[in-house]
Structure formats: structure tokens, C-alpha cells
Structure 1
């Protein structure tokens, strides 16, 4: 049996060995945006996880665009040098290709790390001013952002371009923009968080104006052979919010700007919204995006087992799957998935003796 999950895929000029991606997962362990030895250990481990692509956590395009004081950034020469070191070493040690997710936190910024409470920074914790589509807080107890001006939008768009150019210099194999989870771009798209009455609010076309201007500018700065994509929302999971129909239209608009792939997630636009809890709850939306927009789609969200991931790809519901917590729980998830599906996956030579061909316990499972 040939596994669809472990078949190669080509995105622009990049060929990946399989259809598994490690989802970008914030580590809250950077130093003024700069990657640290924690990132070297974390990404070095995932480089040999069996995934074809590892996407580096949300990496913010300006200092006040971070979520927390510990979030990764790519807005300074120091940030670039630190991340280049980590990616170079991880790539040397592993087999995966590396992508990066570029982001701006919008009204969800100036926040505590999850293990420090996860709420808005207190006055004693060095908070910073935030911007958003409208001057509406993310939830009760959160800072009220300033409504973004034209000058803010121009600055942020230029910051995305600057960070994208840094990512290209570092040598990332793929770049994606974070346009989901209630951060700045998604905050403009969603009618729940965008109450503007100017050319950036109201109709779907107006709400897409700023995010598409960022997409257009980044696409112009990224070489065509480097695949460019975005994580988009499949649903806001609330009445009067964005729907799967909107996700298809967002996908069509980004494809028209020259994007190569999309990762379909959902939720996160307001503090009190809860996503569904059934396995693969975004898969049906990803399938619509793939089919109706005609763009490569990656599904993410409670994809846990190899059999589940295989079914998503083999049925054509998505071109790739992304796992986050699954890889935190089992850093060799890709190895174990290959064994379960009768496929092969590259391993470092130093670990070959623990493979099923050379170690009986591995062969027996």
C-alpha cells in the first residue's frame, strides 16, 4: 500500500518529502524577539520529527506587534542573526524543510505568557500600546487598542515586507502570513472586530483591503520560487462572524495575489469564543477552500492519529496536514506514522539503529 500522507508535494519551487507539517507553536522564550538556545533545542528536535515541513512559530514584524515579551520577532538585525543561527544548525542536523509564519498581534498583544496568567499585561509588567481595526478590546480585562490609522497600516505593511526579506536572507524554504486567530489581519477581516465606517470597514471587500495590501506587498518581495502562503480562518464560530463561505472568498483573493498555499484554522477572534472539540473540525472547511478556490490547502486542528491524517490526504480533503500538540507529545510522530502506514521516513544516521529494520521492539511496535 502506498501512503498518500507520505507522498511528496511541490509548492512553487519547493518539494517536500511528505504531506506532514509541524504547526507553528509559540514558545514564549525569545529575548526581545531574538531566538535563544531553547529555540535551537526545540527546532533541532523537530527537524528530525519525520515531518516534511517545520513552520517556525509566529514571528512578529515589529516590537509592539508581539503577543508577549517572550515572543519571537524578525524586526532587527539581532533578531535576524539569532534566528539564522538556529535555523542553520537545525537544518544541518535534520531532514525537514523550514518555513516561517510572519505575524502582528494586533489587539491580542501586550499579553502575559500563558504560564504567567495569559491575560493582558499589568501596569507593573511593562505593557505597550496596541492597534487594531477598531478600538475594541479582545475581551473583558484587556487593553483597549487604538484604531489603526493609515500611517499605522503603511508602517505595518512595510514591516511585513522587511521581515519577509529577512526571512529570505536567512534561507527559509517557505513563508506564511498569519491571517487568523484574531491577530491584526484577521481582526480587519472579521465583522466582529472591525466596526470601521471608512474604506477599511463595512463590506467584505473593504475589510479585506488592508490584509490584501500586506499580501500584495509581501508577494512582490518574496521570490516566486519561494512558496508564500497564509494561515486563514475557516470560521469565527459566532453568528455574524466570518463563515466557511468567507474563507473560500479569502482564499480566492489570496490566490489572485499569487499565494501558493493556505493553512485553514479557525476561531480566536474574541476571548469568549470556543472552537468545536471534535477531531479534525477544520477539515471540511479546508476541503472547500481546496476545491472551490483551487489552491493547495493544509488542514489543522485536532488531527491526532496517523490514520486520521492519512484519510484527510487520501480523500483529497487537504493537500497537507499540520499538527502542533501532537508533535509536542511525540517528537517522533512522523516516524511512528510512517510505521503505521507502511511508509519510509528519513532518520538521522545516529538514530538508525532504533529503526524497525535494526531493532526488534520498534518492528513489533
Structure 2
């Protein structure tokens, strides 16, 4: 039982203007279920499972604000042509009693320019390990266009019935590429000290809030550390959180870490499935991943429960705004400890992929912990439809898909 004065993680809570039935969030994890860039029955079923399984909020990942902002060509771009499917997805999630969020962003240097048919953009030029092309430096015209695209995307998702917009400011996507010193070598108003490198993040948060008002909640995913030399650091993360809090445009921050380009395992922790990843790649990339350099890219970080807690506590001490704790949350004790630490929400990824009904079972007292073994073999499945290799069909609550 929670201590007196500490909220129960399974009790209702307000996220800005949105009432959630509890304080658990299905984190945005790439689904691999949009082969033609539109909502599919498979994508809906993927999110209905944890929604029916008890989470307060499930987050669709990843919704691009523009075609060049896709991670690759199969990704959803929010617009008039994808609006009907997004509306159907929101309707079906609402039918379970959960709320639905959309992770909104521009992939920047994480975009595969060869797949998208257009070179990616970033704070500064850099080679792309994904497309084997050069990523060009974003111009003033690019940044004006992308900022407007965030506004248009926000407007469309409100029309679709989404409850929460999560602005992606981490993992070296476009906004994060401006925040990381190693990726932002600019000398104009977008580069230099953190106050200037954070200009795009703050600008996007402001225009999105001005567009949506209190129709939906607006949050951001920010980094505790990129996990590589020259990347975004915890000290920068604390300062950014203070800037975003002072601006007053966001309802909460979700605290993440790692870099999709430089150090992806910093986010996941646990086993490193190099062979499984290599097997999904083209021949040349497969050879590269099996080389010493490729193995160095997928670093090994031993798993520990709540592995971002210590860093997140330092952000918690520096700001008053609501925070979501992410990273290796698998037990009822960790979830309740997060409440005692002053976090308002807990975000879960792999644990819910393994057991979509885990929240219901934890709340009912049937179990005290999830059974995810953190093998990370789910990661290479993003190319064929993200799934847990240990998953058993009888674990999922059968939920009919509405038509």
C-alpha cells in the first residue's frame, strides 16, 4: 500500500486538461505496423492490447510532421490522408477507457534520406549511417517550414481525437540534434550556448501550445544524457527542463536517454542482440554490424530496475512541473517508489510488450512484477512488426477490433 500522502500509481490523475484513469503510460516504441504509411488494423490491435490491459495512456510512435521527417518511407506522416485512420485508432483506444497520445516529431539526422527520397536535415552537416548520404544543415527556410508542420500536425491530431501530443526532443532526432554540442556546430542564432541551441525546442513547444490551447495535453520527451562524448548531458537536461518549465507551454516531461544514431543501447539496457540485428540488415550493413566497429555501436549496459531513476531525481529536484519516469520499470514497488520520489507518471515499454495486461494484473495484486527478461530481441523485430519473441498468445486479453 502507498504511504500516507503518496499517491497510488493506479489512482486517477490529470495530465494538463486530460483526465487519466491511472498514472501509467505506454511509452512510444516503434511498432513497425504501417507498411504503407497509414494506420492499419495491426497498429490498432498493438495499442488496444495495453489499453485494454489497464494503462492510463498509450502513445503512438512515431508520427512525422513532414515527409522528410520520417525515419523511413513506411512511417506515418500526419495529414488529411492519414486523418481517418488516426481518428479510428483514437476511437478504438477510447473504447477501452484509456487515452491516446501521439509522439510528434521530425527525425532530422535519424531519417533515412534514401528511403524517403530526400536528404535529411540536422543542425549541422553529417554523414548518415542509415542512407550513406550526407545530411545537410537545416536552413532558416527549413526551420520555418518544420515549425509550421508541427502546428499543422497538432491541429490534425486534435481533429482525430488524440488526447496528448508528445513532442520528440530526444534521441538525436531533429530538435535533439540542435541540443547536442557534437551535432550542432552552428555559429548563428541556432548554435552556441544552450540557450540558443534550445531555441528550436522552445519555439516548437510554444507554437504547438498556441495552436491547441487546452484541447489536449502537450508533453515532451527529453534526454537525461545522450550517452556519448559531445552529446547532450544531464547538466544540460536540467537546464533545458528549467527553460521549458519557465516557458509554461508543456504539461509534463518524459525523461529518456540515448541516441538512435550514436548509442541506442544506452536507452534499452540488458542483452545486446547483435546477431539478431545483423540478420535483419542488408549484406553490407550486416558485415559492418559484425565487425568490431559495429559491435562497438551496440554497447552493452547491464540491466537494472529503474536505471534512469538516479539521473531523473536530479531533474526532479530542479523543477516543479510534472515528470514521467522511464527506464526499466517492471515492478509494482518501482512504480510506487516513483510516486514517493515525486514523479507524477511512470512510462513502460518492453514490460508491456511482453505482457500487455501487466497493469491490470499489478493493480489487481495478481503479480508484483513483470516477466520481461530484457533480452532486447524485440528490437530487431521493428522491421517486421515489433513483438516480444517470448510472447505467448494466451497472455493477451482478446479485444475485438472495431470496424
Q: TM-score range by the shorter chain?
A: 0.7 to 0.9
The CA deviation string for residues 33-74 of structure 1, in whole angstroms up to 9 with x for no partner, is 321111121122222121111111121101111102222221
Q: Can you list the C-alpha shifts for 1:8-36, whole angstroms capped at 9, x where unaligned?
A: 22122222121110001111222553211
Matched, 1:175 2:165: yes
For structure 1, the 5+ residue unaligned runs are 112-120, 344-353, 355-365
Distance (Å, rounded) in 2 between the aligned partners of 1:238 and 1:184: 17
Query: CA deviation digits over 1:243-264, x for unaligned, max 9?
Result: 2221111112212232110000
What displacement does 1:169 show?
Answer: 1.0
Q: Measure the CA separation in 1 of the matches of 2:125 and 2:367.
A: 53
Matched, 1:339 2:364: yes
Q: Does 1:17 align with 2:43?
A: no
Structure 2 residue aligned with 1:85:
88
Structure 1 position 5, deviation (Å): 1.4
Report the TM-score, using the length of structure 2 for normalisation: 0.76
User: Counterpart in 2 of 1:351?
Assistant: none
1:101 maps to which of 92, 100, 103: 103
Report the 3-state secondary structure (helix = DSSP H, G, I; strand = E; otherwise coil) of the residue aligned with 1:340. coil
Q: In structure 2, do the counterparts of structure 1 residues 151 and 103 end up closer, same or farther at CA, with 3 Å as the change threshold?
A: same
Deviation >4 Å, runs of 4+: 138-141
Structure 1 CA distance, aligned partners of 2:134 and 2:120?
Answer: 8
Q: Which residue of 2 aligns with 1:50?
A: 54
Identify the match of residue 69 of structure 1 among 61, 69, 73.
Answer: 73
Are positions 1:284 and 2:316 aligned together? no
C-alpha contact 2:122 2:178 (8 A) present in aligned 1 = yes
CA distance in 2: counterparts of 1:194 and 1:126, whole angstroms: 23
Say if 2:255 is the partner of 1:264.
yes
Instruction: Give the CA deviation at 1:305.
Output: 2.0
Structure-2 residue corresponding to 1:326: 351
**2:25–2:345 Cα contact (<8 Å) kept:** yes
Match of 2:185 among 195, 198, 209: 195
Q: Cα RMSD between the aligned structures? A: 2.2
2:326 maps to which of 297, 300, 304: 300
CA distance in 2, matches of 1:134, 1:28: 29
Number of residue equivalences: 329
| Structure 2: runs of 5+ lacking an equivalent | 267-300, 369-396, 398-403
CA distance in 1, matches of 2:263, 2:360: 37
Partners of 1:192 and 1:274 lie apart in 2 by 19
Deviations 1:169-195 (A, max 9, x none): 112111110000110010111102111
